[in-house]
């Protein structure tokens, strides 16, 4: 198969090849400011399908898939490169360069929110505003910090993924799904099982090992934290923690009648006005 | 004098061998025959008249040229399904990058320039010069624009499109075809999404083709509206030689220009030679079964604009009618008289389907009335007739003596007795029965009712409704009372069939229930000797495993099964058992083909509220055990989440399907992730896989990123590069 020899070089794929690989799509009004929509693990850019129509007229929307998404050729997932979130940030910035976008608004869900934060630290003038949905700087609980996931719960998820992975290696598609794990982690991990088991395991470790609490203060860009009323994977205390620690001007928007970790899928009608408000201020 | 050497098939003269090959339908057998020797190969090619091209046509020179005598060519299944990159100019990929990429950038990308389309079409025309019947996925008119002129003598055309209609003037879809093929005899648009307003202008603009049309099939499941009276009249006027017409029409009298008596008469006047006429209400074409309120008793509030008197005049005007379907959603009162007229005025009538007709067969007195006076009927389908009773069924059995196919749907007054009597009276001819949506006939009762033809029936459909608490009559009472009514000769017939039913099949039977008077089955398995095709409808949340207990113990010849699961998984109670029960089907030794349609089961795809099962769990529930069956071919419709418009195969479903050791063909009518598809590569015999999103609206490449064109190509490349043992 041709075309997948692109990323064995040191810095990852070049701009235009990256655009192909990550299924980058630009829709909407080309004369208006850019709005980048970045999905979380386990879904792909089609998760934004119900949000896009509302912003098509007023923004130039850029959609792309994370390299771990199901719609990206799994051969492109370089296990040596995507060890930390920095590689994902590289990808995002490379896309912005390839599309020649100087400044943009960024909407990130879950792990993409973390990627957005890191990108904004690296290149503060590229981002006008960050809108973070279901964001958390660290998922694991700490002595004073309640991230949402206890050690035991993470272990359950990882164990389920390990068994998935073993089954996969032996040639069987695993039968476990996100709903088999305890309720506390269910919503979050439901989508994790949509990815290929080895990638899932790898990405989960990356996500659960990452701790952005230390660098939050370096963010200068204004941020909006969008939180549902009841998200088992991201408690409200985390939202407040973020607001206190983020360096730029930060506001919290709570979606009061919504619960769950994927409001852009389960309640787009509630999410759209919030995003619109945030973008216009 | 007989020589020592036995006569060999090879010594048959060529003309006879060709005839023999022509009768062989199975493609793999034909391919094997072609490998025997050169002579056989040329003869087999000579007789191969039908070809369905599968596989990815990336390069024109990959088209097979060794089938020159093919007259029926099916191009609609080419990969990637629904896209014809070699016949369609690709749009610019990104709005920010208008410059085209070089063709050789990536072998899996499809960017062909306009004149390459012509080249490919020319190649097709060269490879298959004798095509008279063509099926093609016509995403937009350019496909036909290029293809149709290659075969100006085309007689049959079938267009397929499940994607959205592109923006172009009315009739533009059909214009290239009608213009290039003036001797077109049959046009099939039953799988083609377009507007009703597209058809009349196209036909009117090409009078030569329209006049030669004899068959027009417009029954598209994706059309929400139907043809209005004026449109119907325009079509009829343009095509005076029509012999077969199938169309959805606006029958609702509250709408403008509904189709009523006058329109039907005008249709008959314009096309007097009609022998097949199917006019249905568009809602009957949707795959979902309408939810009927049991207290409603089948009475909708509106009457149709069609009356019995109008129907009588219609039948008088169409003497050559052989096949009639009028499946409405509004009531037609006192239809019995009209149906008697049908029997008189249309002596050739063989097949009849009526929906929401009242008074189809009253059977008030001993004489025959209504539809039972259509003695020549071979196939009868009665839907939603609230006043059809057991007596009516008995009258039908007395009157339609050569009935081979019977379908009743939504007839609340029919009971087990009635069906049993009908079955026993029509024992010598009835081979295809379908009972669905009838309140008093659950699965067990339906199967018991068909006992008289158990050894003869070949095709069967039942609803898997297991327990109906409101039916208290025990089987013993039912059988006892059934013997008291009716004529003496009917009773005799039943006794005769009783004896012939004693099968010598002796098994250790723990399973068979003992019924009352029909206790012949208490020691024997219930043997359905000739049953080849079984179709079941299962409400969401129900299980399949009681099927054997209900009556389908032993079906030695059953080859094909269709299971349709329908309902709202969000609101139905959690299923009592952990699995749906597919492994219970392993008792049917020859089962090889399955269609598992969960497409009308609605649920939560990703974000289920607490306490609810999401669709991945439902798929695991339904598909568990499928690896125990020796399936050869599987068609699977994944359940859908209407909120996000997603019909997608989930991980557990992939895993379970992957467990089918003998599967060779797999068609998934939905989308899925690429790496889920990769699991299928581990199935040793899998040869033919395709994702066919044949529902409206089919997801555009850009709308759903789950299975993009490139992913499909990569997967198929990998699939095709494996070594196949046979």
Helices (H), B323-413: 335-345, 390-399
The CA dihedral of B448, B453, B458, B463, to the nearest 10 degrees, is -20
Q: What is the percent of chain A with per-residue pLDDT over 90, rounded to a whole number?
A: 28
Query: Which contiguous run of DSSP H or E holds residue A253?
Result: strand A250-259
Q: What is d(CA B570, CA B573) in angstroms, rounded to the nearest whole number?
A: 8
- Residue A49, chain B, CB below 8 Å: the answer is yes
Residues B534, B593 contacting (CB under 8 angstroms): no
Binding-face residues of B in 77-106 toward A, CB within 8 A: 94-97, 105-106
Residue B337 dihedral angles phi and psi, to the nearest 5°: -65, -40
Residues A81, B715 contacting (CB under 8 angstroms): no
Report the interhelical angle of A111-122 vs A197-209 (nearest 10°): 60
- Predicted confidence (pLDDT) per residue in B236-288, tens digit: 999 999 999 999 998 888 888 889 899 999 999 999 999 999 999 988 888 88
- Do B606 and A190 count as a contact with CB atoms less than 8 A apart? yes
Q: Which range has the worst mean pLDDT, A26-30, B36-40, B290-294, B504-508?
A: B504-508
Compute the count of residue pairs across chains A and B with CB atoms less than 8 Å apart.
119
At residue B247's C-alpha, the angle toward residues B246 and B250, to 5°, is 150
CA distances from B365 to A111, A146, B369, B374, B414 (A): 76, 82, 9, 17, 18
Residues A189, A153 contacting (CB under 8 angstroms): no
- Do B644 and A50 count as a contact with CB atoms less than 8 A apart? yes
pLDDT on residue B711: 60
β-pair partners for A109: A133
Over 50: is that where the pLDDT of B97 sits? Answer: no
Quickly state the pLDDT bin for B204 (edges 50, 70, 90). Answer: very high
Quickly state the pLDDT bin for B38 (edges 50, 70, 90). Answer: confident
B94, B706, B714: residue with CB nearest A1: B714
Residues B520, B494 contacting (CB under 8 angstroms): no
- Residue B462, classed as helix, strand or coil, is strand
Q: How many CA atoms lie within 13 A of B302 on its CB side?
A: 11
Task: State mean pLDDT over A162-167.
Answer: 76
Quick count: other Cβ atoms within 10 Å of Cβ B59?
11
Report the interhelical angle of B308-317 vs B335-345 (nearest 10°): 10
CA distances from B22 to B27, B74, B154, B263 (A): 11, 18, 22, 44
- Do B608 and A179 count as a contact with CB atoms less than 8 A apart? yes
- Predicted confidence (pLDDT) per residue in B459-507, tens digit: 999 998 887 555 544 444 444 433 433 343 333 334 433 433 434 333 3
A26, A190, A191: residue with CB nearest B95: A26
The CA dihedral of B587, B588, B591, B594, to the nearest 10 degrees, is -70
Q: Which residues of B touch A73 (CB under 8 A)?
A: 674, 710-711, 714
Shortest distance, CA B223 to any CA of chain A (angstroms): 24
Nearest-Å Rg of the Cα atoms of chain B is 27
Task: State mean pLDDT over B588-607.
Answer: 88
Task: State mean pLDDT over B337-363.
Answer: 91
At residue B488's C-alpha, the angle toward residues B484 and B493, to 5°, is 100
pLDDT on residue B257: 87
The CA dihedral of B381, B384, B390, B393, to the nearest 10 degrees, is -20
The number of residues making up chain B comes to 726
β-pair partners for B156: B133, B186
CA distances from A166 to A173, A176, A197 (A): 10, 12, 9
Instruction: Please name the residues in contact with B133: beta carbons below 8 A apart, sequence gap of 6 or more.
Output: B71, B72, B73, B154, B155, B156, B157, B158
Active-site residue list of A: 110, 231, 261
pTM of the model: 0.80
Binding-face residues of B in 206-245 toward A, CB within 8 A: none
- Residue A53, chain B, CB below 8 Å: the answer is no
pLDDT on residue B421: 93
């Amino acid at each position: 198969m041709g075309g997948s020899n692109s990323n064995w070089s040191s810095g990852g794929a070049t701009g235009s090849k990256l655009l192909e690989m990550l299924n980058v799509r630009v829709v909407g009004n080309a004369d208006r400011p850019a709005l980048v929509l970045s999905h979380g693990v386990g879904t792909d850019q089609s998760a934004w399908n119900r949000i896009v129509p509302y912003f098509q007229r007023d923004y130039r929307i850029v959609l792309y898939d994370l390299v771990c998404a199901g719609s990206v050729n799994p051969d492109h997932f370089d296990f040596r490169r995507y060890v930390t979130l920095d590689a994902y940030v590289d990808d995002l910035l490379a896309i912005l360069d390839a599309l020649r976008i100087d400044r943009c608004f960024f909407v990130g869900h879950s792990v993409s929110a973390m990627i957005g934060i890191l990108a904004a630290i690296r290149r503060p003038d590229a981002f006008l505003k960050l809108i973070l949905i279901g964001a958390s700087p660290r998922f694991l609980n700490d002595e004073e910090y309640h991230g949402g996931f206890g050690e035991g719960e993470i272990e359950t998820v990882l164990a389920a993924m390990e068994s998935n992975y073993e089954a996969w290696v032996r040639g069987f598609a695993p039968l476990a799904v996100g709903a088999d794990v305890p309720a506390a982690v269910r919503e979050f991990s439901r989508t994790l099982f949509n990815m290929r088991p080895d990638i899932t395991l790898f990405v989960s470790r990356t996500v659960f090992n990452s701790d952005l609490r230390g660098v939050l203060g370096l963010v200068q860009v204004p941020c909006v934290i969008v939180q549902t009323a009841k998200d088992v994977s991201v408690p409200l205390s985390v939202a407040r923690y973020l607001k206190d620690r983020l360096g730029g001007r930060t506001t919290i928007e709570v979606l009061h009648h919504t619960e769950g970790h994927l409001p852009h899928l389960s309640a787009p009608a509630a999410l759209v006005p919030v995003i619109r408000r945030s973008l216009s201020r | 004098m007989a020589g020592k050497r036995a006569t060999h098939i090879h010594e048959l003269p060529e003309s006879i061998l060709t005839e023999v090959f022509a009768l062989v339908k199975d493609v793999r057998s034909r391919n094997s025959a072609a490998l025997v020797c050169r002579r056989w190969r040329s003869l087999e090619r000579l007789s191969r008249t039908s070809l369905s091209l599968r596989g990815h046509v990336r390069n024109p020179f990959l088209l097979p040229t060794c089938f020159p005598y093919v007259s029926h060519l099916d191009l609609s299944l080419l990969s990637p399904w629904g896209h014809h990159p070699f016949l369609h100019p690709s749009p610019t990929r990104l709005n920010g990058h208008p410059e085209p990429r070089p063709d050789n950038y990536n072998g899996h990308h499809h960017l062909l320039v306009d004149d390459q389309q012509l080249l490919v079409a020319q190649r097709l025309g060269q490879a298959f010069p004798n095509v008279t019947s063509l099926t093609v996925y016509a995403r937009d008119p350019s496909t036909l624009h290029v293809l149709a002129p290659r075969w100006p003598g085309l007689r049959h055309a079938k267009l397929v499109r499940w994607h959205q209609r592109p923006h172009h003037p009315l009739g533009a879809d059909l214009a290239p075809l009608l213009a290039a093929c003036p001797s077109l005899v049959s046009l099939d648009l039953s799988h083609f999404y377009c507007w009703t307003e597209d058809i009349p202008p196209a036909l009117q603009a090409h009078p030569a083709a329209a006049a030669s049309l004899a068959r027009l099939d417009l029954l598209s499941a994706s059309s929400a509206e139907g043809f209005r009276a004026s449109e119907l009249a325009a079509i009829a006027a343009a095509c005076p030689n029509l012999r077969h017409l199938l169309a959805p029409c606006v029958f609702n009298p509250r709408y403008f220009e509904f189709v009523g008596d006058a329109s039907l008469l005008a249709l008959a006047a314009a096309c007097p030679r009609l022998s097949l006429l199917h006019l249905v209400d568009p809602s009957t074409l949707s795959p979902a079964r309408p939810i009927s309120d049991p207290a409603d008793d089948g009475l909708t509030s509106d009457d149709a604009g069609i009356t019995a008197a109008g129907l009588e005049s219609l039948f008088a005007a169409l003497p050559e009618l052989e096949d009639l379907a009028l499946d409405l959603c509004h009531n037609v009162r006192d239809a019995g008289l009209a149906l008697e007229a049908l029997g008189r005025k249309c002596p050739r009538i063989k097949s009849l389907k009526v929906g929401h007709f009242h008074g189809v067969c009253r059977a008030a007195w001993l004489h025959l009335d209504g539809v039972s006076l259509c003695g020549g009927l071979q196939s009868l389908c009665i839907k939603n007739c609230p006043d059809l009773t057991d007596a009516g069924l008995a009258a039908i059995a007395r009157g339609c003596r050569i009935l081979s196919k019977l379908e009743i749907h939504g007839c609340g007054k029919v009971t087990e007795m009635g069906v049993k009597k009908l079955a026993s009276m029509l024992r010598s001819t009835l081979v295809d029965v379908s009972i669905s949506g009838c309140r008093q006939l659950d699965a067990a009762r339906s199967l018991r009712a068909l006992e008289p033809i158990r050894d003869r029936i070949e095709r069967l459909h039942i609803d898997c409704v297991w327990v109906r608490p409101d039916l208290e009559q025990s089987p013993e009472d039912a059988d006892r009372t059934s013997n008291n009514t009716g004529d003496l000769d009917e009773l005799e017939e039943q006794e005769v069939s009783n004896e012939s039913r004693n099968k010598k099949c002796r098994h250790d039977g723990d399973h068979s229930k003992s019924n009352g008077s029909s206790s012949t089955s208490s020691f024997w398995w219930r043997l359905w000797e000739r049953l080849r095709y079984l179709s079941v409808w299962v409400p969401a949340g129900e299980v399949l495993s009681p099927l054997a207990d209900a009556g389908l113990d032993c079906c030695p010849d059953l080859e094909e099964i269709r299971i349709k699961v329908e309902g709202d998984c969000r609101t139905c109670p959690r299923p009592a058992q952990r699995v749906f029960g597919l492994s219970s089907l392993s008792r049917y030794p020859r089962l090889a083909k399955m269609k598992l349609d969960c497409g009308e089961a609605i649920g939560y795809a990703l974000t289920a509220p607490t306490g609810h099962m999401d669709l991945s769990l439902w798929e695991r529930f339904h598909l568990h055990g499928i690896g125990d069956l020796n399936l050869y071919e599987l068609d699977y419709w994944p359940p859908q989440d209407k909120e996000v418009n997603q019909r997608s195969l989930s991980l557990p479903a992939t895993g379970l399907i992957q467990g089918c050791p003998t599967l060779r063909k797999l068609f998934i009518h939905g989308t899925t992730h690429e790496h889920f598809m990769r699991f299928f590569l581990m199935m040793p015999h899998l040869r033919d896989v395709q994702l066919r999103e044949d529902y409206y609206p089919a997801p555009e490449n850009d709308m759903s990123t789950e299975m993009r064109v490139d992913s499909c190509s990569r997967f198929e490349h990998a699939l095709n590069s494996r070594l196949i043992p046979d």
